[in-house]
Structure 1
Amino acid sequence: VKRNVLAFIFLLIGLSSSVPDISAQETSDPVLQALQLSDGVAFDLDGQLLEEVWKQAIPISDFTQQEPVEGAEPSERTEVRVLFDNDNLYIGAMIYDDPEGILANQLERDASLGSDDRFMWILDTFRDGRTGYFFEINAAGLMGDGLMGGGGRGGGRGGFGG
């Protein structure tokens, strides 16, 4: 089966202060190991993830589904790498999928992407496990963002149900 690799890189300005000191945490929960960039490290934000800096970052790949079966093994492989510097947080995702099965019908910014294949992440900046800022993108490049309220409801736009 022919596989298509979709690469998305997202630049989030001013969020490096929300990256916790993971070495100080004692937890059995999965831990994200973001790679801190040295001063002066430059790379292209071109969606390719080909630079050495991306190869140095430890990939996250032990994801579970949200839909159609919450908690189930994913139907396709995804690898996410996270980098940060003094001012920015960079998230690079390699999403492997059969091109024939990709759903990307929504074309309106901040519209619900619930029926599309999408990559979504939430920054729990309040560290309460209930609220945070969410960001998402579908395979057509349509983006959405907002504030995630308690109970998994998005406050950034109407109709978001996670």
Structure 2
Amino acid sequence: MRIILAFILLSLGSNSFANDSIVIRNLSALRIEQAPKIDGYLDEDVWKGAEIATDFTQGEPNPGEAPSQKTEVRVLYDDEAIYIGAIMYDVSADSIMRQLSNRDDEGNTDVFAVMFDTYNDDQNAYGFVVHPTGVQWDARYSASQGQDVSWDAVWKSEVRIDSTNWYVEMKIPYSAIRFSKEDVQVWGINFGRKIRRFREMNWWNTLNPEIDGLVNQFGQL
């Protein structure tokens, strides 16, 4: 996933943290009985009860520092799929960099991403990325083989932009990914947001540049 990993390499290559420990954040997904409509509007009641992932930190250009803009993410699930709702706060719609491009094309644009380590093995992950124009990226990542951008899953996303912010809704069917058959599961997860005009990449679970690896620095779902 070049659009993510290019920034990760920068994020892990400069500045330092106070120590080399990995801080693991936790987020609970809310089970729902009725799926939300995937339209970019997060106004349905099902979203209101979900825990919020926020307080992102920079991976680039100033690792560990507060981001320039606020981001909030919520996670829902049912028997069919997992649902992501994200709000990327900004100062105005004109500040949101966007560019029409083909699927899996990097583009010169802002980005929202979610990555799942479905076996919580700190080694393998699936990534799902959306541009403000609605363009989708997806890829698989492994510690041994790196990223596989040729992998394409079938999933749904919609984007909405208002006068200041942009919004993403995703539906990722379980059929698109592999995971354990256990009744109770813990997945690794991280959310990323690129603010292109500042060359800034922000992460929910902090990526410590003094620690090797990506998936091993995810939070938990």
Q: Provide the TM-score with structure 2 as the length reference.
A: 0.52
Match of 2:127 in 1: 134
Using the alignment, how far apart are the partners of 2:140 and 2:128 within structure 1?
A: 9
Match of 1:105 in 2: 99
1:44 aligns with 2:37: yes
Letter in 2 for 1:29: I
Letter in 1 for 2:106: S
User: Match for 1:35 among 30, 41, 55?
Assistant: 30
Using the alignment, how far apart are the partners of 1:68 and 1:106 within structure 2?
A: 25
Per-residue CA shift, 1:56-80, capped at 9, x if unaligned?
Answer: 1111112122333333311111110
Using the alignment, how far apart are the partners of 1:152 and 1:121 within structure 2?
A: 20
Q: Structure 1 residues 137, 43: closer, same or farther in 2, change over 3 A? A: closer
Deviates further, 101-110 or 132-141: 101-110
Match of 2:82 in 1: 89
Using the alignment, how far apart are the partners of 1:137 and 1:37 within structure 2?
A: 24
Q: Provide the TM-score with structure 1 as the length reference.
A: 0.70
CA contact (8 A) 1:121 1:136 kept: yes
User: Match for 2:109 among 105, 109, 116?
Assistant: 116
Match of 1:22 in 2: none
Using the alignment, how far apart are the partners of 1:56 and 1:109 within structure 2?
A: 33
Using the alignment, how far apart are the partners of 1:67 and 1:152 within structure 2?
A: 24
Using the alignment, how far apart are the partners of 2:24 and 2:54 within structure 1?
A: 15
Using the alignment, how far apart are the partners of 2:95 and 2:138 within structure 1?
A: 25
- % identity of equivalent residues: 36
Q: Structure 1 residues 60, 152: closer, same or farther in 2, change over 3 A? A: farther
1:101 is displaced (CA, Å) by: 2.0
Q: Structure 1 residues 146, 129: closer, same or farther in 2, change over 3 A? A: same
Superposed CA RMSD in Å reads 2.4
User: How many pairs does the alignment contain?
Assistant: 129
Deviates further, 99-108 or 46-55: 99-108
Match of 1:58 in 2: 51
1:143 is displaced (CA, Å) by: 0.7
Q: Structure 1 residues 92, 152: closer, same or farther in 2, change over 3 A? A: farther
Using the alignment, how far apart are the partners of 1:86 and 1:103 within structure 2?
A: 36
Per-residue CA shift, 1:7-44, capped at 9, x if unaligned?
Answer: xxxxxxxxxxxxxxxxxxxxx72111110113xx2432
Higher relative contact order (Cα pairs below 8 Å, separated by 6+ residues): 2
Equivalent position SS for 2:59 = coil
Using the alignment, how far apart are the partners of 2:83 and 2:134 within structure 1?
A: 17
Using the alignment, how far apart are the partners of 1:130 and 1:116 within structure 2?
A: 28
Deviates further, 101-110 or 50-59: 101-110
Deviates further, 128-137 or 86-95: 128-137
